[in-house]
Chains A and B, each alone.
Chain A
């Protein structure tokens, strides 16, 4: 039966074509979709693809090491691992924080606070969450790599500081930069939250030199975060080492000599300004900062009335007491007032009907007739009241400034205090009151408003004994611009003062107990009230915190010295106690010289 192909046996032509065109339309849509992705937005997706597979890992640069003047290693690095969060690996990483906190034994609050701090940072930037992780932490991270892909480790070299807070204040410590530091330093390199920067001491002052430049490695990763290849590798530039003028042995002697007493010791080479020792007490262990300081420890330090974190060698601004008589002596001798002047000390000096007592009056004694040399040795207050009254505040201020008080020494440490030289202008500005001449009498013996730092006083005594040469104190042996300033002193001025200082540590002097047999050693004691006598009388109960501060500044040899020392012994009551500490530092210096001679 032949089949006739009539229209009824065919599919309706129109509808067939409709289906056909619908299909073509659909394919056009697909082509449009492809055109959008692969032509119009190709660059965008190429970049997304790049971000998918390329990750930049920082390679931290090891910080420069720190050596003393003889090349002895003071601050070293050691390799350690840190844990950090890579936020872009996982969408809901925040939900993992409690488990991560307990796994790594971090308080959850601390971890969340840290995460919050990085809130504004770019998402690809890792958040360091624990430094110097333990073997157990590493095992935890390795075992949960699939569960917490955002949790990663990085090797970094970590600071190893001397134990027991040795030289802690001058070395300082490192930590994460503050937001202000980031803002200030961001233009200078790779500083970012999580970077390691110096937070105090030399670590802060020479941070840029010590820090080096972090390297980075661009690696290709697959969707599991596994590294499948390295694209580029820019190695880190290690930080430069720091060679100090510090002498480890003298530093050790100073640390031991000061012991647990609150205060500071500064030892300088007066010929160069190089710092030989710098101690501040109480101290702290900077290693604790490297391991992530517990908030409790921080609170304890901050609330301690003796301020362990303060570097008293450069930051304590206290009345210098009788040490200031060196300034008075220079002024009197240079102005040809004091050379031939004698004063008869009867224990008290009257000005305007008001009595100013000599310290010896408390022993019901008098100094009798003294010249300037004897007045230095005996630290006679009446002599210097008289001299001060004669010179006037203007002349005293002139020499105080000329000897480097009232302004920073420029030592290469951060946040150096500048002390205060009170002037009538200062008082007018500060208190809107005129200067009273009676105040000049107080300033003449280093009381009243005058304050100085141990660093300033160490340079002052060394400079006077060196004939008026005041190089800038510094710790970096390569420091530039150490010339400082000069105040040309007449030979007579230098001889008179050094003779007087020599007498201080010999029979009849105020620090005879600090006498060193066979060593040309001299200095000046100071016993500074922390509050006025009138105030002291009004206070009842424990007076411990108002016990006088003991000062001593010394040089050896006394003429053209090789070492200048300043000791501050807070609440030490009497300058002679400070002088004994200084003597031990000087001894350590000579032991070192002998060793060097034997060695050669």
Chain B
């Protein structure tokens, strides 16, 4: 029972605008390279994503919450299958071939984790016991560990904010949060030991890019050069010298914000960040008005993922964060990420419309 009146047209408009800017930037950044046709593919994905959004907006979120244990089991199974069977691309097993395209399973698992965490934390009443914290930790930690094994540190990291926001809103005590943070900090040296050499190199490159300007620090330095060269007003559409000269690595995926900043400058980059911020505030608004805690928790899960992606990706582009391979949602080229975002927004749309139901 579609009710167009209850659709959040502002939200849809923001999302479409950002996505279209993304397609334009992909086109501009890949002119005269072997990726020149990628923007067309992205446009098809956008069309598919819009359909997915409409579909999800029509599925009662309560049904999805009901089914979440089963969805979770299927997800963990799928991640395990990817590990065993998945096609090795770029030295990591993230994709499984579906209908001629490669879908990144870990993106869709995100959706399931959002729902699982929302259900668990939404049902718990106020003060969480350590038992609850551990349960949520395991719930998120298991799929995150599987993704980490692929190895895809970036995506695995994106699961963590879902758990944190869920626990925070679910009623975790401050003492628990403090102890968890302390434990995390103490674990850092151990984690460093477990990182792959290329991941360590990335971190070192982030800390001191000038040490090895043509090696692992190259991406960070080139990204900062591209952003800085944009100046106040930018160099204009398809005019970015760093992007066009192929100095900026992967300008249509992880570093698309750098390409955008070079072409549209400080003004354009701030405006784009503004769009994301308005989008996030709009989503938090929906979370506040959600019909129940679980529903609000679902929306906040989406907020957590989106905000984490934007902060980490743009932080990396401007040199405030290490290179982690986390794409900029809605803009970076890549179908899986786009489809996930729109499916998640479809759920939010359903939750929003549900509050008008009496």
Query: Which A residues fall within an 8 A CB radius of B?
Result: 2-3, 5, 8-13, 15-16, 18-20, 23-24, 26-27, 29-31, 33-39, 41-42, 44-46, 48-49, 52-53, 90-92, 220-224, 228
Q: Which residues of A contact B80 (CB under 8 A)?
A: none
Q: How far is the CA of A491 from the CA of B335 in the complex (A)?
A: 109
Q: Is the CB of B296 within 8 A of A52?
A: no
Q: Which residues of B contact A9 (CB under 8 A)?
A: 291-293
The minimal Cβ–Cβ distance linking A593 to chain B, given in whole angstroms, is 67
Q: How far is the CA of A9 from the CA of B165 in the complex (A)?
A: 17
Q: How far is the CA of A2 from the CA of B357 in the complex (A)?
A: 10
Q: Is the CB of A15 within 8 A of B229?
A: no
Q: Is the CB of A11 within 8 A of B287?
A: yes
Q: Is the CB of B245 within 8 A of A221?
A: yes
B43 within 8 A of A: no
Q: Is the CB of A31 within 8 A of B273?
A: yes
Q: In the complex, what residue of chain B is closest to A27 when comparing beta carbons?
A: B277
Q: Is the CB of A49 within 8 A of B226?
A: yes
Q: In the complex, what residue of chain A is closest to B171 when comparing beta carbons?
A: A12
Which of B232, B241, B273 meets A38, CB within 8 Å? B232
Q: In the complex, what residue of chain A is closest to B168 when comparing beta carbons?
A: A15
Q: Is the CB of A42 within 8 A of B311?
A: no
B137 within 8 A of A: no
Number of chain B interface residues as a range: 35 or more
Q: Which residues of B contact A90 (CB under 8 A)?
A: 214
Q: A9-B292, A23-B307 are in contact. Are A38 and B269 (CB under 8 A)?
A: yes
Q: Which residues of B contact A27 (CB under 8 A)?
A: 273, 276-277, 310-311
Q: In the complex, what residue of chain A is closest to B226 when comparing beta carbons?
A: A49
B105 within 8 A of A: no
Given A11-B287, A11-B300, A38-B261, 4 extra CB contacts under 8 A? A10-B293, A10-B296, A222-B247, A223-B245
Q: Please, could you name 15 A-B residue pairs with CB atoms under 8 Å apart, sorted by A?
A: A9-B293, A10-B296, A11-B290, A11-B297, A15-B168, A16-B288, A24-B277, A26-B307, A27-B273, A33-B318, A33-B320, A37-B319, A38-B265, A91-B212, A91-B214
Q: Is the CB of A11 within 8 A of B288?
A: yes
Q: Is the CB of B314 within 8 A of A49?
A: no
Secondary structure at the A interface, as helix, strand, loop or mixed, is helix
Q: Which residues of B contact A224 (CB under 8 A)?
A: 246
B151 within 8 A of A: no
B213 within 8 A of A: yes
Q: A16-B169, A38-B231, A38-B261 are in contact. Are A45 and B225 (CB under 8 A)?
A: yes
Q: Is the CB of B168 within 8 A of A37?
A: no
Which of A11, A19, A41, A53 meets B247, CB within 8 Å? A53
The residues in B between 282 and 332 inclusive whose CB is less than 8 angstroms from any CB of A are 284, 287-288, 290-293, 296-297, 300, 303-304, 307, 310-311, 314-315, 318-320
The minimal Cβ–Cβ distance linking B24 to chain A, given in whole angstroms, is 20
Q: Which residues of B contact A5 (CB under 8 A)?
A: 291
Q: Is the CB of A53 within 8 A of B214?
A: no
CB contacts between A and B, total, < 8 Å: 149
Q: Which residues of A contact B292 (CB under 8 A)?
A: 3, 9
The minimal Cβ–Cβ distance linking B227 to chain A, given in whole angstroms, is 5
B85 within 8 A of A: no
Q: Which residues of B contact A41 (CB under 8 A)?
A: 228
Q: Which residues of A contact B81 (CB under 8 A)?
A: none
Q: How far is the CA of A12 from the CA of B297 in the complex (A)?
A: 11
Q: How far is the CA of A35 from the CA of B228 in the complex (A)?
A: 9
Q: Is the CB of B288 within 8 A of A10?
A: yes
Q: How far is the CA of A247 from the CA of B287 in the complex (A)?
A: 101
Q: Is the CB of A15 within 8 A of B224?
A: no
Q: How far is the CA of A91 from the CA of B277 in the complex (A)?
A: 40
Which of A11, A29, A222 meets B169, CB within 8 Å? A11
Q: Which residues of B contact A24 (CB under 8 A)?
A: 277
Q: How far is the CA of A91 from the CA of B211 in the complex (A)?
A: 10
Q: A11-B296, A222-B247 are in contact. Are A29 and B227 (CB under 8 A)?
A: no
Q: How far is the CA of A33 from the CA of B315 in the complex (A)?
A: 8
Q: Which residues of B contact A37 (CB under 8 A)?
A: 224, 227-228, 318-319
Q: Is the CB of A30 within 8 A of B228?
A: no
Q: Is the CB of A34 within 8 A of B269?
A: yes
The minimal Cβ–Cβ distance linking B123 to chain A, given in whole angstroms, is 12
Q: Which residues of B contact A53 (CB under 8 A)?
A: 241-242, 245, 247
Q: How far is the CA of A44 from the CA of B293 in the complex (A)?
A: 50
Q: Is the CB of A29 within 8 A of B247?
A: no
Q: Is the CB of A46 within 8 A of B303?
A: no
Q: Is the CB of A20 within 8 A of B284?
A: yes
Q: Is the CB of A42 within 8 A of B224?
A: no
Q: How far is the CA of A16 from the CA of B166 in the complex (A)?
A: 11
The minimal Cβ–Cβ distance linking A458 to chain B, given in whole angstroms, is 62
